[in-house]
A = this chain, B = another copy of it.
Amino acid sequence: MSAPTVEFFFDFGSPASYLAWTQLPRLAAETNAVVAWRPMLLGGVFKATGNSSPVTVPAKGRWMTDDLARWARRYGVAFRIPAHFPINTLTLMRGATGMQLRHPDRFERYVDVVARAMFETPKNLGDPDVLVATLRDAGFDPAEFAALVADPDVKARLIATTEEAVARGAFGAPTFFVGEQMFFGQDRLDFVREALRAQS
């Protein structure tokens, strides 16, 4: 049989997406699955569904900070909420979409660099100068990146992916699909694993 596929809809601005991303290599290895990367714009998902960030309820935001730290400890991964959080991730997500569309060989490297700069280092990637320096240090050409995120096809693709996520039932990030089964949250990776095993 062919390898089972998990679609991973994510936004770099979502700490839970970051935590899920840290676990995807192991998940894929354990299930012989392929990860289909689906960069989307979480702000667009919120607007379309009427959902909002958990931090809009202060008590929930405080709890989530503790909860994410507990999961990071369980996973054994570095995790810090950046000082300038939350940031507008439009450029970052256009960058992911653009790499996937135009430079697929560099896509996973880009995701790695941005994800770690967001929640491992962390840096203020909402500052264009910081972003440019981060990308340049990682070997990306800033001029090429600027052209990529201004590319109308890239912009349209990011919108289309976001709309597709909403149409299929997503309301937040990360959202996983195994076939048409949807799973929301990095805390549902166990169920994603089960679904992938059922398909393999």
Contact = CB atoms under 8 A, between A and B. Distances in A.
Interface of A: 49-51, 56-60, 62-63, 66-67, 70, 166, 169-172, 182, 184, 187-188, 191
Contacts of A67: 184, 188
A79 to B, nearest CB: 16
Given A70-B191, A187-B187, A191-B70, A59 B49 contact: yes
A100 to B, nearest CB: 25
B59 A171 contact: yes
A20 to B, nearest CB: 15
Label chain A's interface by main secondary structure.
helix
Contacts of A50: 56-58
Given A50-B56, A50-B58, A67-B184, 11 more contacts: A49-B59, A50-B57, A51-B59, A51-B60, A57-B171, A59-B171, A60-B171, A63-B169, A63-B171, A66-B182, A187-B187
A56 B171 CA distance: 12
A63 B187 contact: no
Contacts of A191: 70
Given A57-B171, A191-B70, A184 B63 contact: yes
A70 B182 CA distance: 11
Contacts of A184: 63, 67
A14 to B, nearest CB: 15
Nearest to A49: B59
